Structure 1
Amino acid sequence: MITVFGEGRGFRVIWLLEEMRLAYRLRPVDLLAGVEKDTEFLAINPAGFIPAIQDGDVTMVESIAIMEYLMARYGPTPLAPAPHDPAFPAYQQFLHLGEAGLAASIYFVVGARNFAPESERQNWSADQALSVFESRLTLVTRQLARTPYLAGEVFTAADISVTYALELAQTSGGVRLGEVERSYMARTRAQEGYQRAMETCKSRKAWLAKALVE
């Protein structure tokens, strides 16, 4: 059975597994408490970040790489258009943009705005990271003005990737999303796989409920 270590970006992996109806188990990792004493997890990923998976003899980290591995290993799946499919270029672009352009930049904004000492919360680097996020977000907005999902008419793993980043920005990064993005997230979060993943990720569910109320 596939073991997923950690929620956070691991939610992308769990959502994908639910959409693909693959068996797995979630092994929680408490990053806020520190992982120094979590020897089982550090044996999987000595760098100490999440997510990570163990699938038989295979160990992997990095959420997008894990998603691509799972779809290639256990596919084919409509979540990943074939290379000859006209939807493939947009799918590939937004699958990676969801992390490289959106989540990776907003992560530093979240850290500065929520965890840094008060005097350091408004700093140049966090502002630069927010600027990067906002510039990449324009690509998402433009695409969603054309099609209901990022690769076209059909929900794909690119939507899992980007929805995670938009949720993070909205709930912890202080970003106000426009109507286009909010309507899009309503569609993606209506996916049954999303709902099942939320039931698995109890900590994330509680955190989102609190963040959206505030």
Structure 2
Amino acid sequence: MITLYHAANTRSLRVLWLLNELGLEFELKTLPFTPDALKDPAYLKLNPFGRVPALVDGDTGLFESGAILEYLLATYGKGRLMPDTDSAQYGVYLQWFHFAEATLMPPLSAIAQHTVIRPEDERIPAVAEDGAKKVAEMLAVIEDTLSDKPYLLGDKFTAADIMMGYSLHLANLFGILPNFPNLTAYWTRLQDRDACKAALATT
């Protein structure tokens, strides 16, 4: 049995969404996004960094949302939600899959840290403002990419859209996404998927 450790509005949303898309049976353990919960010794055995997500599948335990998605696709995907590895689209798929976390998430995280997560006396408004500027610059590029197609790889929804979708969820919460009509329409399409609706309903 797969067990997912999840907290609302965190990267674990990606994993929850994919589990729903693949129709897998799993146990969901929802944690409060607090230091007490995430630094609990029992949880630190699952994720020693005290972050979410963490996933346990039999004897396999792992963390990092992107790694978990790749594991689930390789183990249970049966070729779904990703192009064939010998496809011309595979490289583009990997590009957007990893861009969503490696490039887009750091400035989004900076906004979160300095507007929501840190105590008010530790927040630096200039850091949040710089993060918002960087996010807007990146979203402008993706806005152009989606000017003539419904998903990152064209007509086909893939796990790269799940990775990107969570990042856009944060951009929307921070009030940045509405400035980009193509991305707003894209995020609306993603939210219309039953698997995404179910994942968001837990946040």
TM over 0.5: yes
Count of matched residue positions in the alignment of Structure 1 and Structure 2 = 199
Asked if 2 retains the 8 angstrom alpha-carbon contact of 1:79 and 1:155, the reply is yes
Give TM-score, length-normalised by structure 1: 0.85
Separation in structure 1 between the aligned mates of residue 104 and residue 190 of structure 2, nearest angstrom: 17
3-state SS, counterpart of residue 145 of structure 1: coil
Alpha carbons of 1:16 and 1:119: their partners in 2 closer, same or farther (altered >3 Å)? closer
Q: Which runs of 4+ in 1 moved over 4 A?
A: none
Task: List runs of 5+ in structure 2 lacking aligned partners.
Answer: none
Alpha carbons of 1:118 and 1:170: their partners in 2 closer, same or farther (altered >3 Å)? farther
Aligned ranges 1:144-159 → 2 under 5 Å: 144-159=146-161
Which residue, out of 181, 188, 191, partners 2:190? 188
Amino acid across the alignment from 2:114: A
Aligned ranges 1:93-112 → 2 under 5 Å: 93-112=95-114
Aligned ranges 1:99-178 → 2 under 5 Å: 99-114=101-116, 115-117=118-120, 120-123=123-126, 125-171=127-173, 173-177=174-178, 178=180
Asked if 1 retains the 8 angstrom alpha-carbon contact of 2:38 and 2:51, the reply is no
Deviation at 1:10, TM superposition (A): 0.6
Give TM-score, length-normalised by structure 2: 0.89
Aligned ranges 1:1-214 → 2 under 5 Å: 1-7=1-7, 8-32=10-34, 34-35=36-37, 38-114=40-116, 115-117=118-120, 120-123=123-126, 125-171=127-173, 173-177=174-178, 178-199=180-201, 201=202, 204=203
